[in-house]
Structure 1
């Protein structure tokens, strides 16, 4: 990390002493990882990307990727909450008022994205929810959001709607959790990422001041593509890499420590298992290197930076699913025991490939970019 070593040490302490011990219980109960998020906030990680003048760390996207990768190695649910917070902050840091930016920077404010809608599903770029003028200097929002990470637990939401009056396809709003007309429309009982509270939300004539608009009317898609989407795609890849690192480490421990007594050899000494492990390790290292190259391309302003951003989530998500399945096979019956945490990570690994934009959508984006065609 480019931030100071004290923050790096703090991350190790929070991950090892708070997040990892709570991970199995968060998964079993499906409860939001409040203790883990509070510990990250206290240690300065909600304000990692915030400007120093507001009390933040002034960290880079690479710093955020390292934080997400470390957290994901022990708890996928907490890592996804952190990922979505950073994606929201990438917009709020540009357009939110000073009080909000200070609250985020000092660890007092958790935010998230609210893009995906029931009517347009994973096509986040095509909201069907509306925004209309209300009384005085207010705006009324009406939407049915299908999946909102940290629903009911975030302090605010970066909310999308159709444009208020402009020609653009989307406008973004900063919606506080206490806004009149905002509701959580269900609970989340998922296969994986069980504690990330990815529940549906509704806006029923939700009242916000006109000043809650982020950027200009109709500019929301541009903002999403410039800030929120790159942050989300890169950090989602970091999430997958963190999961894979922990899975391959568990597989290595299992193969080295399990013995075939009749042969007086470990499983690691068996050619078939050794080859399978090597193939999975190569997948993990390849995805990690692709993530590092993407971060390097962004930092250097390389011409292929956006192409890498569009590729990185798909590369890492598909690798994570394959690695998780391979580790389950390598570790056999042992992997099905919950105390090892392998089956939990296997379930968590399946989420990234179907989170919008899905792997299929990203492949289409990459093809469009490669041929010089518009993304949308």
Structure 2
């Protein structure tokens, strides 16, 4: 990663992200100040090409950003993660003006794939795109869209207009006529500041050139361009969260005394053993992430299998580690005097964000058996 951007990221985390993390979580407040600061620091433009003024960063750079952010604030990390996933498609197919705005840190984007009717099966959109003279009208009920009330654009999926493919992608301005973001803010177990809300399109008019790629090719683009970034960055999110949980749990064990024994919690073999197991899980997940990044960069023969598995591996490890942190730190971890209860809640998101851990395990099994990833798809 560019050294200037890396140093600026550290300053934003220390000065803006970390101090606000508890309030962002408590109030379910979108981290607008952090996002603005990250834009000004060049972080939002990290994955944009240098030709439009971006940093030209790759997947490893983006994973580093997400991992560092999630160690302080899961909500902010998720906003940036979804932005990067959307940017991959905008960089590949989007207009240069929007790409320049993103590179300049003035444009936050996000994915709008999941729908109320098909839920986590993002590969099966029910929303439609209908020709209307020189325009196209989009109609859909998107179920959960990160940064819904703050993004300037959505990378939007619909059924194909006329082609045989299952999906077409669009770049939709968030202020488009007929687009409605749910008035009720996000009130979930974890990631409470990520402003994930339903978005409804009721005949939203867009121009034909809002299409990203060709009609019917959206699933190929989503799987080949955006999904690897989403899966790997989700793993980086989990690794960052795990690292902070392990460090805080260790600090608590060392600092907390059992006065009647004249010992710390770290002197207790059972607690120490549990902490050691947590650390081993963290190191294994971190190594898996690093190995997957190398596989992608070197186009290794098993890169696809590693990419499909890394989110599930690291997400399940984060859930396990954060659960263990609550056990060994006791009552203090259930209260907000430590950040562990927030880490515990945030870690659960990886299991249910599409593709879910179960879906990814099935994808990996299908790949191993030589079966198509999706029922009805050609082998």
Matches within 5 A, 1:1-376: 3-135=1-133, 137-185=134-182, 186-376=184-374
Which secondary structure state, in structure 2, belongs to the residue aligned with residue 141 of structure 1? strand
Structure 1 residue runs without a partner (length 5+) = none
Q: Distance in 2 between matches of 1:279 and 1:28?
A: 30
Shift of residue 143, structure 1, vs aligned partner: 0.1
Which secondary structure state, in structure 2, belongs to the residue aligned with residue 338 of structure 1? coil
Runs of 4+ in 1 over 6 A off after TM superposition: none
Q: What are the superposed Cα offsets for residues 25-80 of structure 1, whole Å, 9 maximum, x if unpaired?
A: 11111111100100100000110001111110011100000000000001000000
Q: Distance in 1 between matches of 2:357 and 2:340?
A: 23
Cα RMSD, aligned residues only? 0.8
Structure 2 residue runs without a partner (length 5+) = 375-379
Q: Distance in 2 between matches of 1:250 and 1:51?
A: 37
Q: Distance in 2 between matches of 1:232 and 1:358?
A: 12
Q: Distance in 1 between matches of 2:221 and 2:248?
A: 40
Q: Distance in 2 between matches of 1:339 and 1:226?
A: 43
Q: Distance in 1 between matches of 2:33 and 2:4?
A: 21
Q: Distance in 1 between matches of 2:337 and 2:60?
A: 32
Shift of residue 371, structure 1, vs aligned partner: 1.2
Shift of residue 134, structure 1, vs aligned partner: 1.2
Q: What are the superposed Cα offsets for residues 129-162 of structure 1, whole Å, 9 maximum, x if unpaired?
A: 0010013x21000000001000121000000000
Paired residues, number? 373
Shift of residue 263, structure 1, vs aligned partner: 2.1
Which secondary structure state, in structure 2, belongs to the residue aligned with residue 119 of structure 1? coil
Q: What are the superposed Cα offsets for residues 66-105 of structure 1, whole Å, 9 maximum, x if unpaired?
A: 0000000010000000000000001000111110110000
Shift of residue 187, structure 1, vs aligned partner: 2.5
Q: Distance in 2 between matches of 1:5 and 1:172?
A: 34
Q: Distance in 2 between matches of 1:213 and 1:6?
A: 35
